[in-house]
Amino acid sequence: MTQLSDHGPIDPPLLDPERTGPQQVDEAPAAHPDASWWRQAVVYQIYPRSFADSNGDGIGDLPGITSRVGHLRDLGVDAVWLSPFYPSALADGGYDVDDYRDVDPKIGTLEQFDEMVATLHAAGIRVVVDIVPNHTSNRHAWFTEALTAAPGSPARDRYVFMRGEGPDGERPPSDWTAIFGGSAWEPVGGGEWYLHLFTPEQPDLNWANEEVRADFRRTLRFWSDRGVDGFRIDVAHALTKDMSHPLPTQAELESGTHAEGQHRWEDRDEVHDVYREWREVFDSYDPPRTAVAEAWVPAHRRARYASPEGLGQAFNFDLLEAGWDGARFRTLIQANLDLAGESGTSSTWVFSNHDVVRHASRYALPTGTDLKAWLLSDGREPAADAERGLRRARAVTLLALALPGSMYLYQGEELGLPEVADLPVDALQDPVWARSQHTEKGRDGCRVPLPWTSTGPSFGFGSAGAHLPQPAWFAEFATDVQAARDDSTLAFYRQALAQRRRLQGTETLTWDDDGPADVVRFTRPGGWTSVTNFGDTPVPLPPGRLVIASSPVEGDLLPGETTAWVQQAPGD
Ligand code: GLC
Ligand code: CA
């Protein structure tokens, strides 16, 4: 059960004018009062095809999102980020885009997009859309044109075409492997090949081509003009490439011997020229449009993507990858606050998204579990301790919600939804399954359509079926069941977000480091303390009023695997 203070009303937060703490971040005076909305926002990721289905075809859609804005408002999020809703053959869940300035007819229309934005905005919720600039789909008009055009033509120059090895170009230009498995090169006849870092249906664009650059700026303006508030940038570290001859081998690419910023396609220094151009577009709006980079780069390289001259913010997946380790959390949190402070941005925190095993399940498994092998065993080996997983997931979520910076939530985590690990293989949609020669089940287990009601053909997702099969146990996680109980995970998320909104102040914290190593404890301006017990032995709670806890608290002791927020009374 979630405990709210029964000691009477809680005082309004006291904002600390002293701003103690090592990573002091002064917010630049905003040209527009809303310009900094993103700095400490709670952003809720929607995977549109699995959120809500308005017309019973089994596929989530934009009117479905509009119909569920009440859920998002009651949850208390500041913004939604929509994974791609553009026309797509779904070779990679929509990250294979046929047309960047339209809506997939199976999902809705541009008019329905506008209605959705208006409804979200009326509820005080901002809208972030996903931009996929590294590759188009193979059905994009440009790629169709490139296939019929001659080698060396302007149409082919928009992509990364190259002549193969051997007298007739019959072998690929290099032995590079695609991120989802197999070769990164696909032949198109005549000894010519094109590069695809992901699936063959996702040809990589040539970012040295000015027409490509101009078209993406146009796309950013297109959505900004429609009222979109910000952008999530897919694979932001891979756009620019050095394809000069001779190409290194895959082993050489991976050897790490290249100078920093000089890998052939990963995290090249000049990618930031692209983002400087985008910044001009963002800043031509009032308030400026925001962006967050998905950049899988070492922590010290992240700041470039997150700088105010660039995209402005970048995902930090460190806590997602940290396991259950208090000391590690402590170190990673401080490192990320320092990095964000140095580049004049705010940090981001995330535990789940559409690419990873849901965190309620990750924390249910022994430390070091090979998640791919676990999925391949249909979630049987090793056995998951679901109760522990949820307890730990709630604890780390409450910890991260107490931190300075932005929190990114993934649809369904507010229900404590576990991964659907036992999807039958014939239901799998993720290209990873086929591309890995059936050695990896992929990411469908976190993309199963949400349960809104405990009954009905797709648990209220729609009036008929769901495009990925939902297990019977989804009934107990349904939104309607949880909304009726004040001890549910949904009630806990709602309370946590409401309390965060009330308490969140200046972007600083002060560590309280005198406790045991597996207790992570810090105080925020205004006099509220978050304390997480990563151990099993109960520890004393700090003095003050209990605001919220991730698991039931008895008396003055914080149980193991639990986070609590405590607010000091004035003068404490
Ligand atoms: C990003 C997306 C992922 C997609 C990939 C290729 O990592 O999050 O879902 O498969 O890019 O676009
Ligand atoms: Ca639908």
Cβ-contact 94, 62 below 8 angstroms: no
Q: Write down the pLDDT at residue 10.
A: 31
- How far apart are alpha carbons 485 and 482 in whole angstroms? 5
Please, what is the average pLDDT of the chain?
Answer: 94
- How far apart are alpha carbons 242 and 200 in whole angstroms? 20
Q: Give Cβ neighbours of residue 469 (< 8 Å, ≥ 6 apart).
A: 423, 424, 427, 448
Q: Could you tell me if the CB of 229 is within 6 A of ligand 1?
A: no
Residue 458 vs residues 69, 378, 412: alpha-carbon distances, Å? 19, 22, 15
- Summarised one tens digit per residue, pLDDT across range 498-523 is 999 999 999 999 999 888 999 999 99
Q: Write down the pLDDT at residue 554.
A: 87
Q: Write down the pLDDT at residue 76.
A: 98
- How far apart are alpha carbons 450 and 445 in whole angstroms? 12
Residue 355 CA: nearest ligand 1 atom is: 9
Q: Could you tell me if the CB of 98 is within 6 A of ligand 1?
A: no
Cβ-contact 461, 450 below 8 angstroms: yes
Neighbours of 26 (CB within 10 A): 10
Q: 167 — phi, psi (to 5°)?
A: -55, -35
22 pLDDT above the threshold of 90: no
- How far apart are alpha carbons 372 and 201 in whole angstroms? 24
Cβ-contact 547, 528 below 8 angstroms: yes
Q: Write down the pLDDT at residue 246.
A: 96
Q: Could you tell me if the CB of 132 is within 6 A of ligand 1?
A: yes
Q: Could you tell me if the CB of 233 is within 6 A of ligand 1?
A: no
Q: Could you tell me if the CB of 92 is within 6 A of ligand 1?
A: yes
Q: Name the pLDDT band for 11 (thresholds 50, 70, 90).
A: very low
Q: Write down the pLDDT at residue 33.
A: 59
Which amino acid is present at 215?
A: D
Cβ-contact 319, 335 below 8 angstroms: no
Question: Over the range 442-469, which residues count as b (16 or more CB within 10 Å of their CB) and which as e?
Answer: bbbbbbbbbbbebeeebbbbbeebbbbb
Burial of 261 (0-12, 13-18, 19+ CB in 10 A): middle
Cβ-contact 389, 418 below 8 angstroms: yes
- How far apart are alpha carbons 132 and 130 in whole angstroms? 7
Q: Write down the pLDDT at residue 50.
A: 98
- How far apart are alpha carbons 184 and 172 in whole angstroms? 9
1 pLDDT above the threshold of 70: no
Burial of 277 (0-12, 13-18, 19+ CB in 10 A): middle
Cβ-contact 417, 377 below 8 angstroms: no
- Summarised one tens digit per residue, pLDDT across range 366-381 is 999 999 999 999 999 9
Quick one: average pLDDT of 156-183? 97
Question: Over the range 58-96, which residues count as b (16 or more CB within 10 Å of their CB) and which as e?
Answer: bbbbbbbbbbbbebbebbbbbbbbbbbbbbbebbbbbbb
Neighbours of 283 (CB within 10 A): 16
The CA-based dihedral angle spanning residues 485, 488, 490, 494, taken in that order and rounded to the nearest 10 degrees: 80
Q: Write down the pLDDT at residue 14.
A: 33
Which amino acid is present at 19?
A: R
58 pLDDT above the threshold of 60: yes
**Strand 290-293 vs strand 406-410: parallel, antiparallel, or unpaired?**
unpaired
Q: Give Cβ neighbours of residue 244 (< 8 Å, ≥ 6 apart).
A: none
- Summarised one tens digit per residue, pLDDT across range 227-265 is 999 999 999 999 999 999 999 999 999 998 899 999 999
- How far apart are alpha carbons 479 and 426 in whole angstroms? 28
Residue 132 CA: nearest ligand 1 atom is: 12
Cβ-contact 277, 207 below 8 angstroms: no
Beta bridge partner(s), residue 233: 131, 293
Percent of the chain predicted with pLDDT > 70: 94
Taking the centre of ligand 2 as the mean of its atom positions, its distance from the CA of residue 110, in whole angstroms, is 15
Q: Could you tell me if the CB of 355 is within 6 A of ligand 1?
A: yes
Question: How many CA atoms lie within 13 Å of 89's alpha carbon, on the beta-carbon side?
Answer: 12
Residue ID of nearest Cα to ligand 1 atom 6: 95
The residue to which tokens 């549910």 are assigned: 488
Longest dimension (CA), the chain: 83
Q: Could you tell me if the CB of 235 is within 6 A of ligand 1?
A: yes
Q: Write down the pLDDT at residue 13.
A: 33
Burial of 121 (0-12, 13-18, 19+ CB in 10 A): middle
Tokens of 112: 């329905």
- Summarised one tens digit per residue, pLDDT across range 288-337 is 999 999 999 998 999 999 999 999 999 999 999 999 999 999 999 999 99
- How far apart are alpha carbons 228 and 8 in whole angstroms? 41
Q: 541 — phi, psi (to 5°)?
A: -75, 150
Q: Could you tell me if the CB of 95 is within 6 A of ligand 1?
A: yes
Positive/negative CA dihedral, 115, 120, 123, 128: negative
- Summarised one tens digit per residue, pLDDT across range 64-117 is 999 999 999 999 999 999 999 999 999 999 999 999 999 999 999 999 999 999
Residue 134 CA: nearest ligand 1 atom is: 12
Q: Name the pLDDT band for 569 (thresholds 50, 70, 90).
A: confident
Residue ID of nearest Cα to ligand 1 atom 9: 355
In terms of phi and psi (left: phi > 0; alpha: psi -120 to 50; beta: otherwise), the region of 119 is alpha
In the chain, how many H helices and how many E strands? 17, 17
Quick one: average pLDDT of 344-360? 97
Q: Name the pLDDT band for 482 (thresholds 50, 70, 90).
A: very high
Taking the centre of ligand 1 as the mean of its atom positions, its distance from the CA of residue 486, in whole angstroms, is 36
- Tell me the best of 136, 235, 354, 430 to mutate to test the pocket of ligand 1, counting ligand atoms within 8 Å of each CB and taking the most: 235
Residue 92 CA: nearest ligand 1 atom is: 10
150: which DSSP letter?
P
- Check residues 183 and 299 and name the one with the higher pLDDT: 183
24 pLDDT above the threshold of 60: no
Nearest to 103, CA basis, from 152, 143, 48: 48
Residue 296 CA: nearest ligand 1 atom is: 7
Cβ-contact 279, 293 below 8 angstroms: no
Q: Write down the pLDDT at residue 572.
A: 55
Tokens of 554: 């008895």
Q: Name the pLDDT band for 34 (thresholds 50, 70, 90).
A: confident
